[in-house]
Amino acid sequence: MGHLVSMIELGKLFMARGLVVTIVVIDPPNNTSATGPFLAGVSAANPSISFHRLPQVKLEEAEHPEMPTLHLASLSNRHLRDYLAATSTAILVVDFFCSAAMDVGTELGIPTYFFCTSGAQVLAFFMHLTVLHRESTASFREMGEQLVHVPGITSFPASHSIEPLMDRDRPAYKELMDVSAKLFQSQGIIVNTFRSLEPRAVDTIVAGLCTPPGLSTPPVYCIGPLIKSEEVGVKRGDESLAWLDTQPKASVVFLCFGSLGRFSAKQTREVAAGLEASGQRFLWVVRSPPSEQDSAKTKFEKPAEPDFDTLLPKGFLDRTKGRGLVVKSWAPQRDVLAHDAVGCFVTHCGWNSVLESVMAGVPMLAWPLYAEQKMNAVFLEQEMRLAVAMEGYDKELVEADEVAAKVRWVMDSEDGRVLRERTLAAMRQAKDALREGGESEATLAGGGCLGSCLRCTEMCTRTCKS
């Protein structure tokens, strides 16, 4: 969902410049129609957005793919080829997980761009992955806490690499190496960031210092921050927003961990105990704990609603009534973060959430869970200095005392005030980047090959690659 939201916002930018945009959607075999109401809401709010669903493909049980999204994209190529061949497509923009679609773009002579929904620092890592592979025969898992060094970014422990890359003899490792190689075959890379947020990484990438020897660095276009322009399906009087209306300014700690973030029952109770002990006001989105039956192929299915009576400590809701609100599974995160009452965001460090927090000027407590989030947490704390990490996030349990201490640190301490001021400064830079003539807006308005493609209303881009 996070990738889909970003792609929709990118499409809106292109449409604002007169292009006709169709977003191609690949549904997983176990699709629960979770995206159906969302896409319908987007279409209702933006009638000019067109969606095309490719026919569903089947993942054989015998395959047991570690990264089903990559496999789905590859198996869907034949349907994508049929669709693109029947349309007047001038430019193809592919998501990171849909890198296989580059083969279709090449076959049909359509200039193809990568869209990186993560930040420039994560992009630098993936661009440098081949070099890292050649420099050592050890897997990231074997390296443990040894630091990984990539030009232009803060070094991070090897243990913080994304899980599919941890063992170099796993099929997923080779698949992601192939994705990395495809980055350099693209017409350019569009990144959901802005240079002022990650200047060292952006400048290093553009200078070619992350590119493996013998390859050329594609043009890189920083066009962010792209965040949801509206929360689809949010009704007036939403419980979360209505409650926030009754709270003092910058007084509430907001805890939300993305569309896939889930804690064990034990960890959930530790969070509850920590929030209660902190004495701070809070708004907390709680999801059902993962089960032993969860797998790579089922993790995108909608979990059951949490049972607060069995999940939360006895009497917790009564004892915190008035200063805390616990909601089930979902809250309108963009609107919550933009509310004046919110003063701290406890986040899983997904890049969409990071950018929403930056755009709202809300300081972050980093609690990464999966994907590239542990890397993001390091970058946020040590490079961008817009977050402080929860100690123990990389261990079995973050204890209640840590939750209470870190929440009070952000909300009540002088260091927390400084963190808030830095975040507000980043917010001003983000808004400046998007204004007319700002760094991100200017990239779209005249940015080299991409700017030429966006200005072009004819089909010459099919034959002209310059």
The answer to whether 396 and 268 have CB atoms below 8 angstroms apart is no
Question: What's the token pair of residue 320?
Answer: 């915190």
Q: Which residues on adjacent β-strands are paired with residue 325?
A: 283
Question: What's the token pair of residue 260?
Answer: 């896939």
Q: 239-429: which CATH topology? A: Rossmann fold (3.40.50)
Looking at domain 2-229+438-462, its CATH superfamily turns out to be Glycogen Phosphorylase B; (3.40.50.2000)
| Catalytic center residues | 3, 95
| Same fold flag, 2-229+438-462 and 239-429 | yes
For the purposes of burial, counting CB atoms within 10 Å of the CB of 60, is it exposed (0-12), middle (13-18) or buried (19 or more)? exposed
Question: What's the token pair of residue 198?
Answer: 């990650």
CB half-sphere exposure, 336, CA atoms < 13 A = 25
Please state the domain extents for the chain. 2-229+438-462, 239-429
Tokens 């400084």: give the residue: 418
Tokens 């929403």: give the residue: 356
What is the C-alpha to C-alpha distance for residues 430 and 438, in angstroms, rounded to an integer? Answer: 9
Per-residue pLDDT 10s for the chain (466 aa) are 889 999 999 999 998 888 899 999 998 876 656 678 888 888 888 888 899 999 999 887 655 577 888 999 999 999 999 999 999 899 999 999 999 999 999 999 999 999 999 999 999 999 999 999 999 999 999 999 999 999 999 999 999 999 999 999 999 999 999 999 999 999 999 999 999 999 999 999 999 999 999 999 999 999 999 998 877 665 555 899 999 999 999 999 999 998 788 999 999 999 999 999 999 999 999 999 987 655 555 555 667 899 999 999 999 999 999 999 999 999 999 999 999 999 999 999 999 999 999 999 999 999 999 999 999 999 999 999 999 999 999 999 999 999 999 999 999 999 999 999 999 999 999 999 999 999 999 998 875 556 566 555 334 433 444 3
For the entire predicted model, the pTM comes to: 0.93
Phi (first) and psi of residue 257, to 5 degrees: -125, 35
Report how far Cα 149 is from the mean position of its chain's Cα atoms: 23
Q: How many helices and strands (H and E) does the chain possess?
A: 21, 14
Residue 325 DSSP SS3: strand
324-328/342-347 β-pairing: unpaired
Residue 433 DSSP SS3: helix
